[in-house]
Structure 1
Amino acid sequence: MTQMIQTNTQAKASPSGRFGGVNLKPMKTKQILITLLFFTSTFLYAQTPKFQWVKGGGSGGSATNSGLMESCKWINTDAHGNIYGMSSIFDVGIHIDTSLHTNGFGNDDFAVFSYRCDGSLRWVRYFGSTVNDEPNGMFADNEGNSFIAGQVWKPNIYEALHYGDSVLQPGASFVPLVFVAKIDSNGHTVWIHFPPLSAVQSGGYFLSIQPDNQGNVSLLAKLNGAGTWGTFTIPSKGYYVVKFDKSNGNVIGLTKLDFNYKGVSLLGDNLTIDTDNSIYLNCGLGHPDTLLVGNNIITCENDSVQTFTIIKFLPTGSVSWYKPLKCNGLAGQWRSITSKPIIKGSYVYLSGDANNNLNFLGGIINNPFINYSFIKVPLVICLRKDNGNFVSLNHVYNREYAEFNTLTSTSNGIVVAGASAVGFSGNDVFMYNQTDTLKPTSEINKVFPFVLGIDTALTHFNWGIATRVNSADTRIEALAVDKADNIYAGGRFSDSIYNSFGSGIGSQGGPSDFFIAKIAATNNCGCAVAQTFPQFVSLNNNVLIVKGTATGVMDSLYWYWGDGSSTKYLTQNTNAIHTYTVGGNYSVSLRSYNYCGTKDSTIQITGVGITEQELKYLAAYPNPVSHTLTIENPYQSSMQFSIYSITGKLLYSHPYQSYTTTIDMSPYEAGIYFVEMKLEDGRKAVRKVAKE
């Protein structure tokens, strides 16, 4: 069931200056002393990124549903440099950047928000009801549409359900708690899709959401009932990838994956779709449990054993290959995968951690600096995507606790992010490449977030940057990269977090708050839209011919004809032809698209005429004309006569009543003109006249 949404709701204005920046007055009153103490790296790298800005928000409440935290676990960018994120939000004292939303809808809600690349807030939208609601995943496309999977509970028919700026009012029939929704670039809800109750009753749920190779929505879901979803049959219980049409939310595909759990699933937001629609999953397995992968069985014998398995499925849902990774933390044999797979070229990249001196899917961990044998070493591994075979591995050199939580790719490398702790000695060092150091100041017992860049061969970490916190619980849990290779990180903090220049944001009073940060060489968005130059060529009744050029880097050029239609302009400075179905005057634009935005240049086309047999006796002669133009109107109706230049500029207009009218054309320069003859009933004809 897809509900299309039409709304004119706009975001309400909110007090500014209440969250972010040095003039910080968080709801949990405390003074933050801003000092210029930030982390540096001894490794000098051209254009080393910094934390250019840090923004965020939170509430004064705590989660009702165990496991939820206020943390930006999803972050995306569009082709225009805007950033989109999502976080759980708890009931009281909600404060997101400059947007104040005093209280939530009740208990656990969640928020979707958008920032510009300079760190200014664009909009915030809230999802929830009076009970416990939960986000399950999101992604944004190049146009800035956000696609969201989540849970909004409806305990009875008397509850209103909030989906961004769309509200299902009390009294509406019962709907499933899980949904998929589309929000446009301005934050307005476009459609909401609810699954059939039979598919998700008795424990069905949504897990992750990603785009396929056509930009349509791919949803990883556990379906617990047989039946149908749209026109597709659900043969049995299991894990499915459900595909939705991005434009209207209709179901266009349903694929059952050839794996299952016998007991408790440890799946999360770990779905990745490749360009050929192959499916990659990172599957956790814990407790005494069994994972079925195709015809193969993976077991965990007891509570101390876990297994992490990376699986590649063909688009049909059958297993292409899988790689299990068994760990036993009590026996010093810890190995885990901590990120969803990232695909770049012919390879799969994953982050993880392991105890020292272990084999990790073919790569060996060797950290001579580690203080204790139980400390885990964060790593990045590369596998071949055709067969899962090991290619390369690299890891950092930590003395105390450190972890990688997520990774993504840039145009020429891999970016990985995590957190590291400062032990009570205050002398702990976090190193990469054995010699390049990220070391906090003297603050002890704090967990600081960091981001590292590494080449695709995983031979060398190219740069590293961390930032100052006053927090024992800080994590980067999401990464995104825009077209200019600016990096955006999302996560959580518990007290305060700062950019690389000393400005910070503080807690809203709850156990954790969320943040997003820009990591880049400068905060200059580097945006220059491509300039366009349209040119009129000719107009013959209703057939318009134009051409144009553009300067600068662009993704595409389009002609917008002013009648609701558009045409992609493939080759500059060639004729583009458009035929109108309704006469009139039109604003015709040549629009460029690139990473920085759009640019329109417009010309006015006046006097588009639709040839009508009944007006064939309206005459303008001689043509060409030197001095006097004669107009004949045999239709016994008054007429408005107008002259336009070839660029569409109105030069002359006057009403006439007589059968024959003469116009003095001698003041006009030689060239092409359009004369419009419009009768009082609205019918008109346009003639092209040459002036000698």
Structure 2
Amino acid sequence: MKATILLFAYVSILSFGNFGSNLYAQSWQWGDRGGSPQSVSSSNWEEVKDMAVDVNGNIYILANVKSDNIYVGGQSIPGRGDMDICLASFRCNGSLRWVKIMGSAHYSDAAIALKTDKLNGVYLSVNMPRLAHKYPVYIDDDTVINSNDERAFYIIKYDTSGNFKWVRAPQADTVTSSFQSGTIDMDVDSAGNIHALCLLSPGLFGGSFVAVPTFIFYGYWYQDCVLKYDRDGNFQGGMAFDTERISGKMVWDAQSEKYYVTETSGGSPIKMGDTSVAPASGFIACFNKEGRYLWNIQSNAAGFVGRPVLDGQKNIYLGGIIIPPSATNPNANFNGFVAGPDAKSNGSPFIVKIDSNKKNVWAKYGLVNNATFISGVAMRNSGEVTLAGHFGGL
């Protein structure tokens, strides 16, 4: 099965009603698809996990793909193992610039995050567990990691022309398969400073930071941490996040020196500082530069899966879904914003702008005729905000 790994569609807020906003699909400029003809049990196995754009308008995608006869931008490319990771760059007109395939023979290779800086750097974080098999890890044809260890995650840098710069494995080479760590998300500022949100097992990372376990997850002790590197791959230290079992999307605000994380919690509370986020709640949480918890906004009427977006005035934009009040949830709202009766009970697209003091600047939801899921927010230089997501159909 050839799965779609690259798809551009734009949905913008164009007009406003009394309660919500009418959403209109914009004209296509171009689209592309790719992947492997190999059968998979779930369409989610082959999909774009993250995207980025450089200062020249070139586009970068990071995707999971099956390994047989990978097809990207009109090229057929051999894979490395059962499940591989694809990093590809396209020009603004949609033509392929270059592509890299990386992975090991293990089936759990996973693309996590992709970022660019303003200095021609392209950064990605990936989980490629080797476990007891200790398979070689191939970073395309640029380098291979053959060491006899079981490290599970990597941070990799290319330049915007596709030249390999470096790879870092934060774990010590003495780790065993009983203690697996991994990256959750990553942000990179304009100068190439890297902030990787990680779930770490006990041990030494980056050669100097010691993770001290604070909670048990699937039978093992872990700690939520951020590991930092500079643009040259030099380790800049780590810090514990004042949370337990967070797994959302993170941005680093270099202006205010704060971290913001968004997520929709699962069936258990997520502990933060001296409080927690309730189960099945969409939330944004704020932490200072030392990882200390500052505040959160949470709601069982909203859900978020994509990263928050920041503007130059320290405002935060969240895209997700929202439901209106109902007999079973009469107080449904997000930070005081209440969706009107024309919002869908199974979720309408939702965007909210919050200032750095966690106050709503404005909020809007879309008028749709079925559940719609928002997976990302983008901001243009003009200040226009765009939502990306998918629609369940009529």
Calculate the TM-score normalised by the size of structure 1: 0.48
CA distance in 1, matches of 2:291, 2:2: 49
User: C-alpha root-mean-square deviation of aligned residues, in Å?
Assistant: 2.8
Aligned residue number for residue 58 of structure 1: 35
Aligned twin of 1:542:
none
Q: Which residue of 1 aligns with 2:80?
A: 105
Contact 1:178–1:194 (CA under 8 A) maintained in structure 2: yes
Taking the TM superposition and a 5 Å limit, the aligned residue runs for 1:309-324 are 309-324=283-298
1:260 aligns with 2:231: no
Task: Report the secondary structure of 1:53's partner residue.
Answer: coil
Question: Secondary structure of the residue that 1:58 maps to in structure 2?
Answer: coil
Cα displacement string for residues 72-127 of structure 1 (whole angstroms, at most 9, x for unaligned residues): 231111122211111101022311112111x4222111100011112111111001
1-side partners of 2:190 and 2:52: how far apart? 17
Q: CA separation in 1, counterparts of 2:93 and 2:148?
A: 43
SS in 1 for 2:32: strand
2:306 to 324, 339, 354: 339
Check if 1:224 corresponds to 2:205.
no
Would the alpha carbon gap of residues 415 and 158 (structure 1) be closer, same or farther in structure 2, given more than 3 Å must change? closer
Distance 2:13 2:185 in 1: 36
Give the whole-Å Cα distance in 2 for the aligned partners of 1:291 and 1:179.
Answer: 26
Q: Paired residue for 1:375, among 338, 346, 369?
A: 346
Q: 1:352 to 1:194 in 2, by over 3 A?
A: same
Distance 1:226 1:94, change over 3 A: closer
Shift of 1:319: 1.6
Aligned residue for 1:52, secondary structure, equals coil
The 2-side partners of 1:259 and 1:41 are apart by 35
Partner in structure 2 of residue 279 of structure 1:
259
Matches within 5 A, 1:134-149: 134-149=110-125
Deviations 1:611-637 (A, max 9, x none): xxxxxxxxxxxxxxxxxxxxxxxxxxx
- Partner Cα distance (2:392, 2:369) in 1: 9
Q: Distance in 2 between matches of 1:40 and 1:343?
A: 18
Q: Could you say what secondary structure the match of 1:50 adopts?
A: coil
CA contact (8 A) 2:36 2:69 kept: yes
Query: 1:228 deviation in Å?
Result: 5.0
Q: Give the superposition deviation at 1:309.
A: 2.3
CA shift, 1:166, in A, is 2.5
The 1:246/1:70 distance shift into structure 2, 3 A limit, reads same
Please say which structure displays the higher CA radius of gyration. 1
Is the 2:152–2:181 contact (alpha carbons within 8 Å) kept by the matching residues of 1? no
* Cα distance, 1:239 vs structure 2: 1.0
Report matched runs for 1:134-173 at 5 Å.
134-155=110-131, 159-168=135-144, 172-173=147-148
- For residue 202 of structure 1, the aligned residue among 154, 179, 188 is 179
Structure 1 residues 228 and 151: CA distance shift in structure 2, 3 A: closer
Aligned 8 A contact 2:12 2:386 in 1: no
| C-alpha separation in 1, matches of 2:208 and 2:134 | 31
Deviation, 1:286, is 1.6
- Report 1:506-521 matches (<5 A): none
Q: What's 1:651 paired with? A: none
TM-score (norm 2): 0.82
% identical equivalent positions: 20
Tell me which amino acid in the other structure corresponds to 2:151.
P
1:62/1:239 Cα in 2 relative to 1: closer, same or farther (>3 Å)?
Answer: farther
* Per-residue CA distance 1:214-261 (angstroms, 9 max, x = gap): 4211100011114453233434441111111211x1211212111113
Q: Residues of 2 paired with 1:137 and 1:209: CA distance?
A: 6
- Deviation per CA, 1:551-585, whole angstroms, max 9, x where unpaired? xxxxxxxxxxxxxxxxxxxxxxxxxxxxxxxxxxx
Residue 219 of structure 2 aligns with which residue?
none
Query: Contact 1:77–1:84 (CA<8 Å) still a contact in 2?
Result: yes
Tell me whether 1:295 sits opposite 2:262 in the alignment.
no
Matched, 1:234 2:211: yes
Q: What is the rounded CA distance, in whole Å, between the counterparts of 2:375 and 2:208 in structure 1?
A: 39
For 2:251, the aligned partner's letter is: T
Q: Does residue 398 of structure 1 match 2:380?
A: no
Partner residue of 1:93? 69
| 1:355 aligns to 2:326 (yes or no) | no
CA distance in 1, matches of 2:12, 2:125: 38
Q: Which amino acid aligns with 1:294?
A: G
* Partner Cα distance (1:308, 1:149) in 2: 25
Preserved contact between residue 199 and residue 223 of structure 1 (Cα < 8 Å): no
Shift of 1:154: 3.0
Aligned-partner SS, 1:363: coil
Deviation track 1:396-439 (CA, whole Å, cap 9, x = no partner) reads: 1112222222102111221112222432xxxxxxxxxxxxxxxx
- 1:366 maps to amino acid: G
Displacement of 1:139 after TM fit? Answer: 0.6
The code of the aligned residue for 1:238 comes to: Q
For structure 1, the 5+ residue unaligned runs are 1-25, 29-38, 301-305, 328-333, 424-692
Deviations 1:628-676 (A, max 9, x none): xxxxxxxxxxxxxxxxxxxxxxxxxxxxxxxxxxxxxxxxxxxxxxxxx
Q: Secondary structure at the match of 1:79?
A: coil
CA distance in 2, matches of 1:406, 1:81: 19
Helix, strand or coil at the partner of 1:365: coil
Secondary structure at the residue paired with 2:33? Answer: strand
AA of the residue aligned to 1:83: I
Name the counterpart of 1:648: none
Query: Is the CA contact (8 Å cut-off) linking 1:351 and 1:381 kept in structure 2?
Result: yes
Separation (CA, whole Å) in 1 of partners of 2:266 and 2:142: 39
Structure 1 residue 279: deviation in Å? 0.4
For residue 115 of structure 1, what is the aligned residue in structure 2? 90
Paired with 1:383 and 1:390, the residues of 2 have a C-alpha distance of 4
State the secondary structure of the residue aligned to 1:396. strand
Count of matched residue positions in the alignment of Structure 1 and Structure 2: 358
Q: Which amino acid aligns with 2:263?
A: C
1:27-106 alignment runs, 5 A limit: 50-63=27-40, 68-101=44-77, 103-106=78-81
1:149 shift after superposition: 0.7
Contact 1:57–1:95 under 8 Å retained in 2: yes
Give 1:244's match in structure 2, choosing from 229, 232, 244.
Answer: 229
Shift of 1:208: 0.8
Verify the 8 A CA contact 2:131 2:150 in the aligned structure 1: no
Question: Is this contact kept in 2: 1:164–1:188, CA < 8 A?
Answer: no
Q: Distance in 1 between matches of 2:39 and 2:369?
A: 33
Deviation at 1:346?
A: 3.1
Q: Residues 72 and 90 (structure 1 numbering): CA distance in 2 closer, same or farther, change over 3 Å? A: same
Aligned mates of 2:166, 2:294 — CA distance in 1: 34
* AA in 2 matched with 1:271: M
Partner of 1:364, secondary structure, is coil
Task: Mark the CA change 1:187 to 1:42 in structure 2 (over 3 Å): closer, same or farther.
Answer: closer
What residue identity is the alignment partner of 2:361?
V
1:180 aligns with 2:158: no
Change (3 A) 1:395 1:233: same
Task: Output the CA distance in 1 between the equivalents of 2:238 and 2:187.
Answer: 14
User: CA 1:190–1:400 in 2, change beyond 3 Å: closer, same or farther?
Assistant: same
C-alpha distance in 2 between matches for 1:158 and 1:254: 26
Any conservation in 1 of the 2:264–2:305 contact (CA below 8 Å)? no
How far did 1:137 drift? 0.8
